[in-house]
Structure 1
């Protein structure tokens, strides 16, 4: 409970404010904040009540895997029903939407009830499956992974990201209540930008490193496994009082090291869990990856190359003090992406400040431009004897300079030079 309280406190920590930004920001966001404390109480109660009598422990590995897959199938069916109901209510030709959707709504509600009964069991199974790999990597004390892995399927908040205009740098963020309309998001962004002369973006997130961590309910099992591991990394880096964990909100360098390491761990854990418990899923993932690579090669519009080109040009313009020109250029590029099927609502400094922190792709992620931190973290993983050794070294790193010194020291050791 002490660790959980620490995590909650750190999750709300922001970079030191300038002027009275924080007070004004709170007024702009009045009534739209996400109630993290309320969510935490409810989530912990659900976790503790199930863990008193963990019913899944009498099931074999195969039975547990089948139970999870059945649940994911029903999640997909639930979302299909929701989509059908929404289509009826948005169809102007339907006179009485309530009557027309009555049967579907009854199916939806019955399925939701069955999902609710099984949710805690599925969460416990997936927690154990991911923890089995974490134990092998040396993250357990007397058999218990530390910090214990706990997550909860839930509706996620949106995230308000605020960046400077003259430089791509995240200076603040806020979790917002789920369910805001596009109009409400746009009004918030406009109010924040106008009041503080910044660049802001309200964006969805794929998970949140509270404790337990928050994941959206989805039928994409391979994605769920990865995000479970990803969010645990954030908790681990706080639990160990790692500099890149404690400075996540106050340092762009720490945030990029943290997020890039989490993506690397996510990908490796996901594949190992899939191979061990869901071999059919692992084979399907390999096939999908090959098909996706072929599709990317044949597609006339190269999203990655175009986004990288956009980020690098924006960095150049901002470095020259041409802020308005950079913003006009980003809007032109956004229209280009939309015309080619990539529905980006808003492309601005805050977009790059958020997405550029996830820099784990070979050669660097497109939204990161020429940022050197991600490639350096990837190089550290290549030199590490194991995933566990890699993450423990990440936990000891103070900043990017420290990361570079460690890589240089490793190079000297390998060549025998001093």
Structure 2
């Protein structure tokens, strides 16, 4: 597919950047001797090796040659060995139709970035500018919203149900985007070209988009020529044996840009130690570990909080999206001085809302960081009781 319509106009110098072209090509030719790029000599790297110990007692060592490669300039896309592992993981768990497509306009490609936020910073700079409308879940991570707005984008939040983004609301936003942007102020806004979504263990709601819903949304994206940004750091933290397939597994066009997080799983050296079987075992370990924390948290919530809040159990991810029963505005949770009296913090729903003008009674609980579930929920109950007493 032609990506040019998704890219914002870039002010580029007219002269060719021959040095970079030669350097990138040199990385691909191990027998070539390059005198072109301004690269340091590998023999002056001050650290010649290191080792670290895994939780199972195994010691992994980075030798002198590996340290030389890691400590000097890398390929723009990332360390080739890391890219190779990422390619293997995507082939096993997603098997995107374009993985081995010979069409250069649909070729599968990978880039390593400093975290998902680093990837979004680069991505939105390329695809979002003033008067652009971006579609995303009505409650979304604050850092993502800020990144979009810094690029000049206007946000239209899409309503969700237990299956994910509602298709009726997505269709409505694709026909009435102008009316749904409250701050348009008479400006003529462009039809949305981007759909951003966190489909697994959504942050903050915990909703996992069903495969049937993904197929419906992908079809709508084809009809309206949308680029889907699939931000999916919790894909491997699904609390079931059978994972819900990703948007990328449906992508016949090359319209899905998938953002994965390695920080929650492994580093390159561990890939070599584990292999694919070990990687899968580690995923199962993480799933079982976090599922137990979720269950312990919800057990205490059922014992202490059902008269004060309501929630639905998440099928993946790190969060429980809860709603106050007796208060229409959870903004009180932003009052740190008040919450510190009870020694417990949760995040008010307004921090995730695309429409900052409307109050919400929702708030987010992260159940994975602490091992003190029982004490945390006791404190949360006391906090909510105190909030209700203030009304």
Same fold by TM-score, threshold 0.5 exceeded? no
Structure that is richer in strand per residue: 2
Structure that is richer in helix per residue: 1
Report the TM-score, using the length of structure 2 for normalisation: 0.32
Report 1 or 2 for greater relative contact order, CA contacts < 8 Å, sequence distance ≥ 6: 1
